[in-house]
Amino acid sequence: MSSNKDKSLTNEVEAQPVVEDNKRRNFLRGAMAATGTAAAAVVAPIAAKAKEMDHSMHGGMAGENYGSMMFMENHKMKPGNIIEPPGSPSPNDVKYKVFDIDVQIVKHEILPGIVTHVFAFNGQVPGPEFHVTEGDWVQVNFTNRTEEMHTIHWHGIVLPYTMDGVPMVTQDPVHPGDTFVYRFQAKPSGTRWYHCHWSTPLHAASAMHGAFIIHRKNEPLKKRFPYTRDYTLMLEAMDTNFIREEMNGLLEGMKEVNLLMSKGLLDYKTHGFFKDYKEFKQAVESGEYVAPYLQSRSSGVKVEPNFFMINGKSYPATKRIGIKQGEWIRVRLINASGLSHHMHLHGHDFWWVAMDGNDLPEPRKMNTIHVEPGSTYDVMVYGDNPGFWTWHDHKTVHARNNGIYPGGMLTVLAYEDFEPTYIPSVSTDQ
């Protein structure tokens, strides 16, 4: 099912039979009521791709014995399905650029000494960066290599609704082991992005996000701003305590699923799904179903990010932005954090040229740009003041690591072609 496979995003998936019956799964009333808990509502059994999985939880995580392999061996699952929903032209009719992407649980280092487990696209934070041209037909084979459910929402892309990646609104969540095939045309142009839409405060805010850049064939902005380098800065925030608690909660949920299955109370791919609001309401009112919100969360804590990142790293681990004298660079800011960030560049004004992927009617000159949650902002910087220049969130509580300044959402615009009279060093103890 492929053509023009892009190697930079390849993570080979075996060809498997197409599943024709993608009906909504039965929801589980009896088992939920039987246990008096709904923790299992957010987890599901895994499927056959599990043998490829290698992310057993350990090192401070609860429930060491609930890795994929044991689960597979105890319960004979069907192989993972490939789900190809309707909504876009057949590959016989248009030529798709094909990308393979998966989600795995991996350890991610934010800073030396700070490592957290995250759900990550292709095991990286942020996820792989897509670069396509406006009008390209894009196929993304998304394989779920975790025990949790996920989807991919294509943020800012105008596509058929069945490709929009919102669980229970446009598709069933992608179950463990399964591969969901997204197909759409890349439009409109500009800085767009993608993220998981299942359990979004945990999945998308932690690491399941990435840039989706749709280029124009002849970029009109290059006339006024002839940029030679193009940078993407994903702005992120993580509450590592919340992530740890939630991950441990998920493992507990899996334990429960194991127990229910061993008693025959839970079938393959059943969970707390309802066909409509009325059915859901009746199940709650009759006591057949105990909704998760009727009980306290395992963590019982608010989400309060303690690490603020640019492309997966906090200062001083952030990567510098290179520039030369006389060079224009384009910087695409994408806010995946759920917080607002006021990104201030020292020593320069820059031109704000686009918002949410769309060009502004008239560029604006500024040096602090307010980057709101979910939005993208493009700016052009001209290299006319050689040196090392801080570029950081001026909400300075976000320029800290675990409450310690300096750190967090801070990087450096670094000129590459001058004789410095002061060379930056590193201190995290102020």
Interaction site with Cu ion (CB under 5 A): 150, 196, 198, 203, 208
Residue 170 CB, shortest distance to Cu ion, in Å, is 15
Smallest distance from Cu ion to CB 425, Å: 39
* 194/197 Cα distance (integer angstroms): 9
Task: Classify each residue of 160-188 as buried b or exposed e, where b means 16 or more C-beta atoms within 10 Å of its C-beta.
Answer: beebbbebeebbbbbbbbbbbbbbbbbee
Q: Is 311 left (phi over 0), alpha (psi -120 to 50) or beta?
A: left
Which two three-digit tokens encode residue 127? 């996820």
Please, are residues 93 and 183 in contact by the beta-carbon 8 Å criterion? no
Q: Closest CB to Cu ion among 192 and 203?
A: 203
Of the pair 198, 225, the CB lying nearest Cu ion is at: 198
**Whether the Cβ atoms of residue 384 and residue 329 lie closer than 8 Å to each other:** no
Least distance in Å: CB of 208 to Cu ion? 5
Closest to Cu ion by CB, 208 vs 413, is 208
Tell me how far apart the terminal alpha carbons of the chain are, to the nearest angstrom. Answer: 56
Exposure string (b/e) for 218-235, b if CB count within 10 Å is 16 or more?
Answer: eeebeeebebeeebbbbb
State in angstroms the smallest separation of the CB of 79 from Cu ion.
21
Which CB, 111 or 125, lies closer to Cu ion? 125
Closer residue to Cu ion in complex, CB, 49/150: 150
Beta bridge partners of 153: 195
CA dihedral 364, 219, 5, 141 (to 10 degrees): 40
The residue among 103 and 331 lying less far from Cu ion, judged by its C-beta, is 103
User: What is the helix (H) or strand (E) element at residue 318, kind and residue range?
Assistant: none
**Minimum distance, C-beta of residue 150 to Cu ion, in the bound complex (Å):** 3
Q: Which is nearer to Cu ion, 203 or 313 (CB)?
A: 203
* C-beta of 28 vs 196, nearer to Cu ion: 196
Distance CA 428, CA 53 (A): 37
Query: What is the closest distance, in whole angstroms, from the C-beta atom of residue 215 to Cu ion in the complex?
Result: 27
Distance CA 71, CA 49 (A): 12
Which of residues 136 and 245 has its CB atom nearest to Cu ion in the complex? 245
- Report in angstroms how near the CB of residue 162 gets to Cu ion at its nearest: 18
402 phi-psi bin (left φ>0, alpha ψ -120 to 50, beta other): left
**Minimum distance, C-beta of residue 337 to Cu ion, in the bound complex (Å):** 16
Quick check: 177 and 103 in contact, CB under 8 A? no
**Least spacing, CB of residue 196 vs Cu ion, in Å:** 3
- The amino acid occupying position 339 is L
DSSP string, 20-41: ---PPPPB-SHHHHHHT--GGG
